[in-house]
Amino acid sequence: MGYRGDLAMTDGCYKGKVALFAFNGDPMCFAHVLINALDMKEKNYDVRVIIEGSATKLVATLADPEKPFASLYEKVKAACLIDCVCRACSAKMGFLKSAEVQGLPICDELLGHPSIARYMDAGYTVLTF
């Protein structure tokens, strides 16, 4: 597994823990995941972005700096807020290689997908988009 690490470990300075699961491949919807992740980080939340389902196609799309929301995507990547990309969905949709080339963590602990329960067990509030 390539996720950021032990979800239970925090330094106690966070306001809360939030896992944003992006399933929807619509760029406008995904943009809301990105802006909320940056906002929560700025407000001192432990925030993780998990890219699942049809949203995995946006990993390749938004790597192109000419695409709308690409700069927002780069800010989220630079802030290390992307906790993982779903191996099964990104492979099925043909975007696993793009995620790997970008150095994004890949998760597959639940039959090829990231486990929502793993985040809940670690005390994260899970929001889905």
pLDDT tens for each residue of the chain, 129 residues long: 344 444 444 456 779 999 999 999 999 999 999 999 999 999 999 999 999 999 999 999 999 999 999 999 999 999 999 999 999 999 999 999 999 999 999 999 999 999 999 999 999 999 999
Host domain of residue 39: 17-128
Q: pTM for the whole thing?
A: 0.89
For residue 12, tell me if it sits in a domain.
no
For residue 10, tell me if it sits in a domain.
no
For residue 1, tell me if it sits in a domain.
no
Helix/strand/coil for 79: coil
Number of domains in the chain: 1
For the record, the structure tokens of 75 come out as 């800010």
Helix/strand/coil for 37: helix
Beta bridge mates, 108: none
The DSSP 8-state label assigned to residue 126 in this structure reads E
For residue 72, tell me if it sits in a domain.
yes
For residue 5, tell me if it sits in a domain.
no
For residue 3, tell me if it sits in a domain.
no
∠ CA(58), CA(78), CA(15), 5° rounding? Answer: 100
For residue 41, tell me if it sits in a domain.
yes
Q: Are strands 46-51 and 125-128 parallel, antiparallel or unpaired?
A: unpaired
CATH code of the domain in which 116 resides: 3.40.1260.10
Count of beta carbons in the 10 Å neighbourhood of residue 97: 12
